[in-house]
Amino acid sequence: MTQVRSAATPARRAAPLPIALWQLLLAHPLILAAGALTLVAAPEAMLHPLSRETVVVALAFAALIFVGELARVALPGDREASPLATAGALAYALTDSVGLTSLSPATTVPHGAYVTISVTAAASLAGGMIHAAVGRTLRLDTIARRVLIVALAAALFPVVRRDLSLPSPQLTILSVMVVVVAAAGLTDVVLAAFDRRWRLRVPFVAAVTSELRLSLGLGAAIAATGVLIPLAANRMELWALPALSLPLLVTQFAYRRYAKIRATYGQTIRALSRITEVGGYVVQGHAERVTKLAVATGRRLGMSEDDLVDLEYAALLHDVGQLSLDDPMPPGSTLTVTAQHRTRVAGLGADIIRSTGFLDRVAVLVERQAEPYRRNRRDSDETVPLGSRIIKAVSAYDDLVSEAGGNIRGHGDALERLRLGMAYEYDPRVVAALADVVSHSLS
């Protein structure tokens, strides 16, 4: 659940880790489903004796999944992924039917779907607990999705292979692998979209579209690695695991470096946004609160991740135009000045942002934030970007619930004031989404 805290909302104490894990297991259906599946698979796996070769293979893939979980990377939109762990788990599921010495079904490694599920869950949890031990987030949602898609792959592979017959055994294996991995990848997209719908109440279709766009690059690399490892294992045996995992691991580190650069860029903009607070132009924390609420509202309205990044930067810098004023607007709220003055401040802020040379889209959002969503006796102005409408409503809401807004401090009173302005000033869709976000954050 995304927590959005305004100036009038007290901070909540974090629950102890065991209680938080138990609440998460009960509250998240994907985690609950993966946990139940693992609890069924683990006893079944232990009831069947395994050969020495099978145990060695299981340990090798468990190590690969564990290392992959440790090397997870951050993705846009508060996402995290472990491409190497997912690729290793899929490869282990496919190795069950391919074997390590031949393409012939007679020489397969018979560990079965139950062992595949148990090894994937145990190795992923072990890596996740290491993250938790050093103070990072234990991403049970990501682990749960991995367990579920690996279970699907392990169960689907022998069925598809039995029903699909091509002239060449090699072509049959490759074709079935591609079909199964593609099915697992699409299932992961749907599960990830369901997860975002469950946690952030993002529209499901928008979440699916966003997940598809984000998964194209890393998803193709995961699928290729998951297919190549079991195929190469027939010739290279267990040496195929490190040999074919290395390119994906290098890609992960390169992507992690890119993510760090992007995060540093965002932190720089966030630091610059505090200039208006330090100079006394706005109240403390205004830009940060507006940004959190604006991004949450944008997600609720189905904005893409690229648009959400622009919205985040614009929300952080939406008051930067006040730096061009000779005197701050007492008490710092644009609600206390005329519409012409608000438009002038927005234009000044856009000019400052454009001077950077690479934030033109952000400048447009800031420039048009002061405009009403519709004019008198006219239909809504569709040229006003959705991000600008969001910033306008959210900034006004924060002004109303903080000291900058005068005596109106209650969340309900502030939302009612926005509803009174829905005839011209505030987009009704934005106000409804903002009210939903505020209600969800306070519940």
What is the predicted pLDDT for the residue at 116? 93
| Residue 166 Rama label (left phi>0; alpha psi -120 to 50; beta) | beta
Rounded Cα–Cα distance for residues 390 and 437 (Å): 12
Per-residue pLDDT, averaged over 324-339, amounts to: 68
What is the predicted pLDDT for the residue at 327? 67
What percentage of the chain carries pLDDT values higher than 70?
A: 86
Rounded Cα–Cα distance for residues 268 and 155 (Å): 48
Q: Which residue has the higher pLDDT, 435 or 251?
A: 435
Strand partners, 380: 374
Run of H or E including 316: helix 305-316
Phi and psi at residue 302, to the nearest 5°: 85, 25
The single-letter DSSP state of residue 134 is T
The single-letter DSSP state of residue 75 is E
Instruction: Please answer whether residues 426 and 416 qualify as being in contact, where contact means their C-beta atoms are separated by less than 8 angstroms.
Output: no
19 three-class SS: helix
| pLDDT score of 89 more than 50 | yes
What is the predicted pLDDT for the residue at 332? 53
> Which range has the worst mean pLDDT, 7-16, 23-32, 203-212, 263-272?
7-16
What is the predicted pLDDT for the residue at 443? 64
Rounded Cα–Cα distance for residues 111 and 104 (Å): 16
Radius of gyration, alpha carbons of the chain: 26
What is the predicted pLDDT for the residue at 403? 58
Q: Which residue has the higher pLDDT, 26 or 156?
A: 156
> Which range has the worst mean pLDDT, 70-84, 89-103, 139-153?
89-103
Instruction: For 221-256, write each residue's pLDDT tens digit.
Output: 999 999 999 888 877 888 889 999 988 888 888 888
Q: Which residue has the higher pLDDT, 207 or 18?
A: 207
| pLDDT score of 29 more than 50 | yes
> b vs e for 69-79, b when ≥16 Cβ sit within 10 Å of the residue's Cβ?
bebbbeeebeb
What is the predicted pLDDT for the residue at 2? 37
Q: Which residue has the higher pLDDT, 192 or 266?
A: 192
Per-residue pLDDT, averaged over 48-58, amounts to: 81
Per-residue pLDDT, averaged over 167-188, amounts to: 87
What percentage of the chain carries pLDDT values higher than 90?
A: 37
Dig out the tokens for 227 from the structure: 């297919």
> Which range has the worst mean pLDDT, 22-26, 41-45, 101-105, 340-344?
101-105
Q: How far is CA 181 from the centre of its chain?
A: 22
Res. 105 pLDDT band, cuts 50 70 90: very low
- Per-chain mean pLDDT for the chain: 82
Amino acid at 315: A
Task: Decide if domain 274-442 falls under CATH 1.10.3210.10.
Answer: yes
Instruction: For 122-134, write each residue's pLDDT tens digit.
Output: 999 999 999 999 9
What is the predicted pLDDT for the residue at 120? 96
Confidence (pTM): 0.78
> Which range has the worst mean pLDDT, 252-261, 322-331, 382-391?
322-331
What is the predicted pLDDT for the residue at 254? 82
Instruction: Please answer whether residues 4 and 296 qualify as being in contact, where contact means their C-beta atoms are separated by less than 8 angstroms.
Output: yes
Q: Which residue has the higher pLDDT, 394 or 108?
A: 394
Rounded Cα–Cα distance for residues 415 and 422 (Å): 11
Instruction: Please answer whether residues 76 and 266 qualify as being in contact, where contact means their C-beta atoms are separated by less than 8 angstroms.
Output: no
Instruction: For 290-331, write each residue's pLDDT tens digit.
Output: 999 999 999 999 898 889 999 999 999 998 988 877 766 655
409 three-class SS: coil
| pLDDT score of 27 more than 50 | yes
Query: Any idea where the domains of the chain sit in the sequence?
Result: 17-263, 274-442
